[in-house]
């Protein structure tokens, strides 16, 4: 829809517009190196081009290009996977020995805020967007911003505790564009409660604005899927159930015939609610790089699957057959396509959220917990269950969604130990990056415990 030359021009502006002064000071970027911001935000076409830039930023390797999923599995997967790669950043995460100068956690923070600031710029310029498209543009920007803040608060702050005040430090909430460099850019950390409140408000609005179909861009289904995930994380089971039910009952999505068909695709399957798509110009799918081997375009097999995970499956479970031997160790068969999709929201997750929440609440909104459980269970080639317990559903979720970025967050919300570490141990969250702490005086005294 828009030519690459124009996108690159807009992205030059976007690079400057990030949270606070830290990255700008660190890189010594000069405003005169970029186009005047008014050029980018003075027309319908240009605002939409900047929005495309937000999707491009979302695909950065440190975040939804794959590493944000990888990091959840590394930090929460003790005993089920093993990091064997040579890169020190992921090794620190896997060993729960992160330093505040870790390049991976620094890139995750910075790239998330780059995307957030692009979204803020789009939201500030809605008045020039054609009225017919204004709601969709707003909804897309709100959705992307919500994704960033949700994962920022999950990685860099102690988890949401249902029924508590949640006054623990979250992450800085920046809801307006950052223009240039000044002391006003220095923002301290909001509380976890404040971040969740903002995320839910943005998503609730986005779900009403977004269309059912929108190509590879955000849809109402994607917004409701994220609403379901956010509410599940905070223990609002009714909210999570109802949002998942909206996705399922829309009948816009359907499970693929086999489990294997949901992965390694170059185009969205019937099951994909929202995903990132990679072509050679983007660089490779980061999940393939770290989870696979050179045979499929990965490295040497940085992440191995251990018996602690493989032993969880019934021998006849077709999901077990997805694992394969490569470079003398077991690998996940979900990530063997260099330029394919990174699945971010699948319909299977919605069935399992609805099943879990209905089971916890003693309700049958949409369907019974047993029927929802059987949607994924029988697709895996297993006999249908006549009844299920909460433990059955949680195990099904663990197997169905394995190695897709859920591990850390499920361990935290279920309050499970990760190895010898309790779920709320300071080592189970990332530090605020050193460069942020050094450059932003508003963060003084706000570093996470232990760093």
Taking the CB of residue 80, how many other CB atoms lie within 10 A of it?
A: 19
**What is the pLDDT, as a whole number, of residue 32?**
29
pTM of the model: 0.92
* pLDDT value, residue 179: 74
**E strand map for 125-271:** none
pLDDT at 283: 78
In the numeric block, the tokens 């110009």 are attached to 281
For the chain (length 451 residues), average pLDDT per consecutive 10? 40 42 30 47 95 96 96 97 97 98 98 97 97 98 98 98 97 90 81 98 98 96 98 98 98 98 96 92 88 94 98 98 97 94 97 99 98 98 98 98 98 97 98 96 96 94
In this prediction, residue 200 carries a pLDDT of 98
At 38 the pLDDT is 57
pLDDT for the residue 181: 59
Distance CA 450, CA 438 (A): 17
The conformation of residue 278, written as its DSSP 8-state character, comes to -
CB 226 within 8 A of CB 235: no
* Residue 115, helix vs strand vs coil: helix
Write down the CATH number for the domain with range 252-402: 1.25.40.900
Number of residues written out for the chain: 451
Q: What is the pLDDT of residue 160?
A: 98
CATH classification (class only), 1-210+415-451: mainly alpha
Instruction: Classify residue 190 by its DSSP letter.
Output: P
Instruction: Write out pLDDT tens, residues 362-398.
Output: 999 999 999 999 999 999 999 999 999 999 999 999 9
Nearest of 46, 18, 201 to residue 122 by alpha carbon? 46
In the chain, residues under CATH classification 1.25.40.390 are 1-210+415-451
- Within the chain, all domains assigned CATH 1.25.40.900 are found at 252-402
């Amino acid at each position: 829809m828009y030519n690459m030359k124009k996108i690159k021009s807009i992205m030059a502006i976007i690079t400057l517009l990030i949270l606070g002064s830290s990255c700008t000071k660190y890189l010594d970027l000069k405003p005169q190196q970029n186009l005047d911001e008014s050029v980018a935000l003075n027309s319908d076409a240009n605002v939409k081009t900047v929005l495309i830039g937000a999707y491009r930023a979302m695909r950065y390797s440190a975040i939804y290009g794959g590493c944000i999923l990888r990091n959840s599995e590394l930090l929460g997967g003790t005993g089920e996977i093993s990091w064997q790669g040579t890169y020190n950043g992921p090794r620190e995460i896997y060993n729960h020995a992160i330093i505040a100068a870790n390049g991976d956690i620094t890139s995750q923070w910075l790239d998330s805020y780059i995307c957030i600031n692009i979204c803020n710029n789009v939201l500030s310029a809605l008045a020039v967007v054609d009225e017919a498209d204004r709601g969709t543009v707003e909804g897309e920007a709100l959705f992307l911003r919500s994704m960033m803040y949700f994962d920022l608060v999950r990685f860099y702050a102690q988890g949401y505790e249902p029924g508590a005040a949640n006054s623990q430090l979250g992450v800085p909430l920046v809801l307006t564009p950052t223009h240039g460099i000044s002391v006003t850019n220095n923002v301290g950390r909001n509380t976890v409660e404040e971040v969740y409140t903002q995320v839910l408000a943005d998503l609730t609005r986005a779900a009403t604005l977004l269309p059912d179909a929108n190509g590879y861009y955000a849809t109402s289904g994607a917004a409701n899927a994220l609403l379901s995930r956010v509410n599940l994380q905070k223990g609002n089971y009714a909210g999570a159930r109802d949002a998942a039910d909206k996705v399922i009952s829309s009948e816009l999505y359907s499970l693929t015939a086999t489990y294997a068909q949901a992965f390694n695709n170059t185009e969205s399957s019937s099951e994909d609610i929202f995903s990132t798509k990679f072509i050679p110009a983007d660089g490779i799918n980061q999940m393939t790089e770290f989870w696979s081997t050179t045979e499929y375009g990965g490295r040497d097999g940085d992440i191995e699957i251990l018996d602690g995970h493989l032993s969880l499956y019934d021998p006849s479970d077709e999901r077990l057959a997805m694992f394969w031997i490569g470079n003398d160790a077991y690998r996940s068969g979900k990530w063997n396509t260099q330029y394919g999709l990174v699945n971010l929201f699948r319909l299977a997750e919605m069935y399992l959220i609805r099943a879990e929440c209905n089971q916890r609440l003693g309700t049958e909104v949409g369907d019974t917990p047993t029927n929802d459980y059987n949607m994924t269970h029988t697709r895996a080639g297993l006999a249908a269950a006549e009844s299920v317990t909460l433990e059955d559903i949680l195990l099904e979720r663990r197997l169905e969604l394995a190695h897709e970025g859920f591990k850390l967050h499920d361990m935290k919300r279920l309050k499970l130990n990760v190895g010898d570490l309790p779920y709320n141990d300071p080592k189970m969250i990332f530090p605020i990056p050193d460069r942020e702490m050094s450059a932003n005086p508003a963060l003084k005294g706000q570093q996470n415990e232990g760093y």
